[in-house]
Amino acid sequence: MSLFEKHEATINDAIAALHARTFYAAFPENPSPAVYGESADSDGKEKFQALLGKRFDELNQAGAEHWIGREESPYTQDALGVSYPSLSAEILIARSGKAFHGWRKIGLKARAGILMESLERIKGRFFEIAYATMHTTGQGYMMAFQASGPHAADRALEAIAAGYEELQRFPAKAVWEKPMGKYTIKLGKQWLPVPKGISVVIGCSTFPTWNSTAAIYGSLITGNSVIVKPHPGAILPIAVYVSEIRKVLSENQLDPDACQLAADTAENMITKELAEHPVVKLIDFTGNAAFGNYLESIPGKTVFTEKTGVNSVILDSVEDADKVAANLAFSINLYSGQMCTAPQNFYIPEAGIKTPSGIITFDEFAQKLVDNINSLVDNPKAGPYVLGAIQNKKTCDRIVDVEKLQAKVWLKSRVFDNPMFKNARLATPVVLEIDASKEELFGAELFGPIALLIKTKNTAESLALAQALAISRGAISCGAYTTDHSVREQIADAMALACTPVSFNLTGSIYMNQNAAFSDFHVTGGNPAGNASFTNPEFVSRRFTWVGHREPLKEA
């Protein structure tokens, strides 16, 4: 049985899910022993710990000039001590170019089978990847497991499925006949999906696999070779993915350099050298707007970006203010606001929020939100695990700066005890009240656990501000609460024109931060928060070009 035959049913299920947009998950997100085995967690933790202080040599990338690595755990604030092979941009590109031709010629089914097999191998390392993610990003254990393991693998599968379908959108060949009166022109035609070449995937520090796997597998399934350039602060999680891809390539007598890791340090980054190289044709990037805009400006590249944005919550009317406050407080606390989908600007009318039992004033709702934030933070069984730790010291500095703004401080950020990690870098949310006229204070992304309560004249002004910022600065998510159908439709229409998806009236255990593979398009590509979307057809179809050949057919 070929690898494609082994995984064909899963590929077909994934393609069906792409069209149905209903719930589908090929990789279970529950890390329970019943799903993954009794010792899976402890084994994964031991494997992670065994990597510390050593060379990560399972990549088998020969000829390293140096071994480098500066990762630090946000939980212990100690260096991981893991080092990776350091290769020059020229060597990486030369090897990628050589491997490209063998990889593109093996055929779609062979590529799909190999990529699916790599995901199957990675599934066996989800727990190891979870601990690697915790100690590079600061994510709590459950998020680290789900986001870097099952959810990232589902996004990879989604890209495989989308690519597999797009590459077969048109027939491989056809006979073309055109009547010309007394005779007929008869041509044999052939169409080839031709990959663009070398792809560079630039990772981020907070979600090193979730934000990279769709790009890696999207480029590979379409026949491109890939150089994975992770953030220097979060290399290990994606290094495991790359190592497994390389192993399956080697086992199938293919050049493993079709997928390489390009590790570097903050002091000596090779990102620009890779991106600007003339033979690099594809670039994927997750990170700040300034660098994303620079990448988009490089001529001759096909670039896919997810950048910064200002995410809003519009509060008009609610069924239950307590449930809404609890839901939003969790969204603010989740991973200490270090998610691209986390809410920042909360637009609340100065007259208050309508409820079935009367008006909840601005101050009353602000206090409910603060109380719910504190309640979760102070819950020793939930707070440390929901908030996680702060990945970058600059985020802590930003929180201090925000508290100095000319605004009413409803809640100051503070530290709290993590029972497992006494030296963890921690910060709870800061909550400020800002007048709607002070756009200079709320008009840009303030990454981290920062919530701004913006007092507006009414819901119409709230919507106008949210839409305008999404259009000018970008937005990846938006929340809205209203019990009025006409208001709901106004919000939906206005934010759709700003190319921003809206989560309406969420309460309970579903939050606006979350995106599901096979159902939610992550980023729309239609506003400044990014020019691409996980995973619409364009996310894979722009990675190759249709080329047609033709020649006359002789009469039989």
pLDDT of residue 544: 98
pLDDT digits (tens, 9 = 90+) for 172-222: 999 999 998 888 899 999 999 999 999 999 999 999 999 999 999 999 999
How many Å apart are CA 217 and CA 159, to the nearest integer? 6
DSSP per-residue letters across 329-364: HHHHHGGGG-STT---EEEEETT-EEETTEEEPHHH
Residues 6+ apart with CB under 8 A from 553: 175, 186, 187, 188
Q: Which fold has domain 312-504?
A: Aldehyde Dehydrogenase; Chain A, domain 2 (3.40.309)
Domain ranges of the chain: 3-21+36-59+67-171+196-307+532-544, 312-504
Please give the distance of CA 110 from its chain centroid, rounded to a whole number: 27
pLDDT of residue 540: 98
**Residues paired with residue 469 on neighbouring β-strands, in sequence order:** none
Q: What are phi and psi of 125, to 5 degrees?
A: -120, 15
pLDDT of residue 554: 82
Residues 6+ apart with CB under 8 A from 1: none
Task: Report yes or no on whether pTM surpasses 0.75.
Answer: yes
Using CA of residue 47, residue 48, residue 54, residue 58, what is the dihedral sign? positive
CA dihedral 255, 60, 249, 89 (to 10 degrees): -50
Please give the distance of CA 401 from its chain centroid, rounded to a whole number: 27
Whether residue 428 has a cis bond before it, omega within 30° of 0: no
Q: Are 244 and 121 in contact (CB under 8 A)?
A: yes
pLDDT of residue 65: 82
For 140: left if phi > 0, alpha if psi spans -120 to 50, otherwise beta; the answer is beta
pLDDT of residue 529: 97
Q: Which residue type, as a one-letter code, is found at position 535?
A: T
pLDDT of residue 427: 96
Do the two domains 3-21+36-59+67-171+196-307+532-544 and 312-504 of this chain adopt the same fold? Answer: no
Tokens at 309, concatenated: 């944005």
pLDDT tens digits, the chain, 556 residues: what are they? 999 999 999 999 999 999 999 999 999 999 989 899 999 999 999 999 999 999 999 999 999 989 999 999 999 999 999 999 999 999 999 999 999 999 999 999 999 999 999 999 999 999 999 999 999 999 999 999 999 999 999 999 999 999 999 999 999 999 999 998 888 899 999 999 999 999 999 999 999 999 999 999 999 999 999 999 999 999 999 999 999 999 999 999 999 999 999 999 999 999 999 999 999 999 999 999 999 999 999 999 999 999 999 999 999 999 999 999 999 999 999 999 999 999 999 999 999 999 999 999 999 999 999 999 999 999 999 999 999 999 999 999 999 999 999 899 999 999 888 999 999 999 999 999 999 999 999 999 999 999 999 999 999 999 999 999 999 999 999 999 999 999 999 999 999 999 999 999 999 999 999 999 999 999 999 999 999 999 999 999 999 999 999 999 986 5
Residues 6+ apart with CB under 8 A from 6: 113, 116, 117
Tokens at 47, concatenated: 């494997």
pLDDT of residue 197: 98
507's enclosing H/E stretch is none
Report which of 429, 453, 432, 446 is spatially closest to residue 333, judged by C-alpha positions: 429
pLDDT of residue 556: 58
Q: Check: CATH 3.30.230.10 for 3-21+36-59+67-171+196-307+532-544?
A: no
